[in-house]
Amino acid sequence: MRRSARAADQQRAAPDQRYSRHGPAGDGALDLDLRVVHHDYNIERLCPLFEHYASGAATSEHLGCECLLTIISQLADKSTGDLIAEFAIEPMRDYLASER
C-alpha cells in the first residue's frame, strides 16, 4: 500500500508536458507576415499605400543605417504580401537579384 501511495505522489508531482517548471512553456501568436524590403524606390511606394488605405493600414519602420524597410499589414483582409503586390513594392529578394 505504501508503494502505491508513493507512486501516486510522484505522479501528482510530475510536471504536465505543456508546462515548464517555471510556468507555461509558451502561449501566444507568432506573426510571420512581416516583410523586409530595401528602401530604394520603395519609400515612395508607401505613400500611395497610406493614402489609399489610411495611415494605420500598415506598420513600417525605416532602418536607415541598414537601407531597409520593414512592412507589416494591419488590415484584416489584406496580407503584407497582398499590399506589396498591389503597390509594386519590390521584395528584398528581387532587389538583391537585380543588383548582382
Decide if pLDDT at 67 tops 70: yes
**Over the stretch 85-99, which tens digit does the pLDDT of each residue have?**
999 999 888 888 987
Give the confidence band of 65 by pLDDT, cuts at 50, 70, 90: confident
Q: Angle CA(50)–CA(52)–CA(57) in degrees, nearest 5?
A: 50
Alpha-carbon distance 20 to 18, whole Å? 7
Q: Give the CA angle between residues 55, 59, 62 to the nearest 5°.
A: 110
- DSSP output for 38-84: ESTTHHHHHHHHHHHH-TTSEEEEEEGGGTEEEEEE--TT--HHHHH
User: Does the predicted model carry a pTM greater than 0.85?
Assistant: no
Query: Is the per-residue pLDDT at 2 higher than 70?
Result: no
* Chain length of the chain: 100
